[in-house]
Every structure is written in structure tokens, then in C-alpha cells.
Amino acid sequence: MKYANLHLHSTYSDGVLTPRQLVNIGKSLGYRALALTDHECDGGVREFMEYAKNIGDVDVLPGIEFYGMHEGANLHLTALDFDMDDPALRALVNERIEAHYESTKKRVKRGIDLGIIDGIRWEDVEKYNAPGSWYCPGSLIRAYNTLRIPMPEGTIEKVFKSPEAQVFASKTPDASRVIPIVRNAGGIIALAHPHKRTHFVPALVEMGLNGIEICHPDLVDDDPQLAEEMADKYNLYRSGGTDHTGAMSGLGGRHARPAFHGISEEEYFTTKERRLG
């Protein structure tokens, strides 16, 4: 069993468990430290941290999973243990929340106008997704589920993934912009689930990257070894977690396989205490 699970998603992005449920399940599984890393938002982090503090026996870090473009690749970058009130970081988070909100709003309204979405209004989507959330396909699914209206098969593909819908996609910022903002806010920023992505590490380190996930459900074959090699070579903090898989995902199907990924106690406190500098 790993000591810390530092890659989790809640109902504030595309997870199905609330921040409090994640704390409860993580503690029951035996994790001693957790980080909520919702996509491009931190609306649930304060609730997550306050609840963990109240129940005790589990340490928590603030987190966000940002996207960053580099050489045509949309990289996932997990930010950890940063100053949540840093002005530049707050500006970036607010910008990303607004961008995804507007993108999802346009896609959903298009779906309503075309009759793809029936029985759901945009106001329903807003009502059943908390302020500060990452608006995404999960936001529409949450509205359908809350109202107990069956979603027709293919709705998500037509509303969000069709070529016509892609016109409304928000533009992802460059990794070279995201990484320094997190670093200047005192945080760790790690290359997430670097399956076939470790070759980007040298350039990302030049931008300020100081972490890498070494234990994640998507890391297969020689991925963990390559990630460890990058961590050693570039003096990177090690991170990892279960993401959308296992008991802490709350999901079924392919996500329901056992998953207890994360990092060791030594690796966790190396990060928390900034032992690498």
C-alpha cells in the first residue's frame, strides 16, 4: 500500500465522488496523505482540506491538474502544494475555469438547439455543478443524472467530440506559461502519467518542471522505469496516484480494476519538506 495518493478527481471536475467522500475513502483504504487535483480548477480544494483537517489522521495538499501545450502535445501537469492565493496562479485558474465554462455552454446550447439534448436546459447544468467547477462532458452528465433523465446514446460524442463541436473548444495555454506560474506560487509541478511523454522532460525542466509521476494506472511496460530515470537525472520530485481508477474513482467498467497507486512516505515528505531544493 502506498502512503500518499496525489492524483484524484472529484465532482468539481469529471469525478463522481465529492471531496469529502474522497477523504473518507482514502482514509479507509489506508492512505495517510492525499491531494485533490481536479482538472483546471480548485473549487473543491478548500472543502477537501478543511474536512481532512477535521477528521484527522490524513494529511492533504492542494492540487490542480493543468493542461499545457508543448510541441503539439497537450500535456497534463499536476500542480501540488502551492499558495492558493498567489495572484498569478489565481488569475490562471480563473481564466481556465471561465474558458471551459464558455466552451461547454456553447456546446450544450448548440446541442439543445439541434435537438440532441432534450429535457435539459443550460440553467440545469449550471444549477447542478458547483461554482468554481471545471465545466466538461461530466457537467452535462451530472445534470442528466441529478434530474434522473436517461441520456440518449451518443449524446456526449455529438455534443462535445464531433468536428462541429470542436469549433468551440477552449485554447490550451503553453506549458511554458503554466509551469513558471505554479513554481512562482511555491508549488511542485509534475508531468502527469508520462506514458510516451518522458522525452519531453528535458525541455520542460528548462521551463521549471520539478516533478514527475512515477506511479499511475496509465504507466505500463517500461514507463515507470523511464519516469524514475528522469526523476534521478533531473532531481525531480516523485508523484503519483490512482486518477480515475480503483475505489477512489467511484467508476465502473474499465476504471473499476484494483488501483492503489501513489508514492511512499519518504517520497511524500521529500516533496512536502522540499528536500530536493
Residue 203 sits in a domain of what CATH number? Answer: 3.20.20.140
What pLDDT does 150 receive? 96
Query: For the segment 64-109, what is each residue's pLDDT rounded down to a tens digit?
Result: 999 999 999 999 999 999 999 999 999 999 999 999 999 999 999 9
Gyration radius from the chain CA atoms: 18
The total number of structural domains that make up the chain: 1
- pLDDT at 257 exceeding the cut of 90: no
Which one has a higher pLDDT value, 48 or 252? 48
221 CB-contact burial (10 Å; exposed 0-12 / middle 13-18 / buried 19+): exposed
> Using CA atoms, how far apart are residues 248 and 25, in angstroms rounded to an integer?
7
- Averaged pLDDT of the chain: 97
Query: For the segment 177-214, what is each residue's pLDDT rounded down to a tens digit?
Result: 999 999 999 999 999 999 999 999 999 999 999 999 99
What pLDDT does 256 receive? 82
Enter the C-alpha cell of residue 100: 471551459
Sequence letter at residue 254? R
> Using CA atoms, how far apart are residues 191 and 63, in angstroms rounded to an integer?
13
How confident is residue 251, by pLDDT bands cut at 50, 70 and 90? confident
Average pLDDT over residues 220-239: 98
> Using CA atoms, how far apart are residues 170 and 74, in angstroms rounded to an integer?
12
pTM of the model: 0.96
Write out the DSSP string of 71-133. TTEEEEEEEES--TT-HHHHHHHHHHHHHHHHHHHHHHHHHHHTTSS-S--HHHHHHTS-TT-
Sequence letter at residue 267? E
- pLDDT at 253 exceeding the cut of 90: no
> Using CA atoms, how far apart are residues 161 and 168, in angstroms rounded to an integer?
10
172 and 69 Cβ atoms separated by less than 8 Å: yes
- pLDDT at 255 exceeding the cut of 90: no
> Using CA atoms, how far apart are residues 238 and 125, in angstroms rounded to an integer?
37
What pLDDT does 213 receive? 98
Average pLDDT over residues 127-142: 95
What pLDDT does 242 receive? 98
What pLDDT does 1 receive? 80
Whose grid coordinates read 496516484? 241
Average pLDDT over residues 233-250: 96
Query: For the segment 12-24, what is each residue's pLDDT rounded down to a tens digit?
Result: 999 999 999 999 9
Whose grid coordinates read 521529500? 270
User: Domain range spanning residue 229?
Assistant: 1-277
What backbone torsions phi and psi does residue 104 show, to the nearest 5 degrees?
Answer: -65, -40
Is residue 144 classed as helix, strand or coil in its secondary structure? helix
Is residue 213 classed as helix, strand or coil in its secondary structure? strand
Q: How far is CA 129 from CA 33, 61, 125, in A?
A: 27, 23, 6
